[in-house]
Structure 1
Amino acid sequence: MLVSQILKSKGDLVFTAVPSETLGAVCALLHSRRVGAMVVLENDAVAGIVSERDIVRGVAELGAGALSQPVANFMTREVQFASPGETVDALLSRMTDRRIRHLPVVEGTRLLGIVSIGDLVKSKISEVEAEADNLKAYING
């Protein structure tokens, strides 16, 4: 299965922040939107990504004062991207190797969506279940 197929089923909604937004405001948005990461955009270009891990790291290092600082101080700047034509297996491997849970999907410089490791696992499970059902139907004739 391709990333583009996942985006068709889950949608292309990406929650974003700007680098000057406070870490506390981003925390509130992550909580209210029930997501684990937000893409940070600057002038419509991806400047970084901020995840729950980035927030925990910031608060662990600086205490509650981190929440009043700009998200730019805590975001991951070296963003790993996915392209719409990549396979679920390729992304699962990359995410596992790099210990990341979210990949913005881009084509050129255009942000198309975001996939999480949960999206990929859900897709893989559906694929395996469909294959098992087809095999059972074949065996049962």
Structure 2
Amino acid sequence: MLVAEILKSKGGDVFGITPDTTLANACSELDRRKIGALIVCDGDRVVGVFSERDLVKAVTSDGASGLDRPVSRYMTKDVIFADPGETVATLMGRMTDRRIRHLPVLNDGRLVGVISIGDVVKCQIAEATQEAESLRTYIAAG
């Protein structure tokens, strides 16, 4: 399955913040949206990803005083992207190798969605289930 197909079924909603958003506001947004990461954009340009993992690092390094600081101080700046034409298997490898759980998806340089490790796992489970059902049907018919 391709990234574009996952986005088609889940939608292309992207929840983003600006680099000057405070850590406290970013945390509120994560909680309100029930998501694990926010895409940090400066205008139309993706400049980072702020995840729960970044929050843990912020609290560890700066404690409660970090809540008033901008996410640009804590976000992951080396953003790894996905392309709509890539396969789920490719993403699984990239996410596993890099130990990341969220990939912004760019199409012609434009942000069109976010794929999470949960999306990838859900897709792989669905494919395995479909394959098992096809085998059952084939065996039963034979």
- Which residue number corresponds to residue 117 of structure 1? 117
- Which residue number corresponds to residue 45 of structure 2? 45
Equivalent runs, 1:1-141 vs 2, <5 Å: 1-141=1-141
Equivalent-residue separation in structure 1 for 2:12 and 2:131 (angstroms): 27
Runs of 4+ in structure 1 off by over 4 angstroms are: none
Displacement after TM superposition at 1:108 (Å):
2.2
Q: What SS does structure 2 have at the residue aligned with 1:5?
A: helix
Equivalent-residue separation in structure 2 for 1:46 and 1:109 (angstroms): 10
Equivalent-residue separation in structure 2 for 1:76 and 1:20 (angstroms): 14
Q: Which runs of 5+ in 1 are unaligned?
A: none
TM-score by length of 2: 0.98
Q: Which runs of 5+ in 2 are unaligned?
A: none
Letter in 2 for 1:117: I
What are the superposed Cα offsets for residues 113-134 of structure 1, whole Å, 9 maximum, x if unpaired? 0000000000000001001001
Q: What SS does structure 1 have at the residue aligned with 2:105?
A: strand
Report how many residues are paired.
141
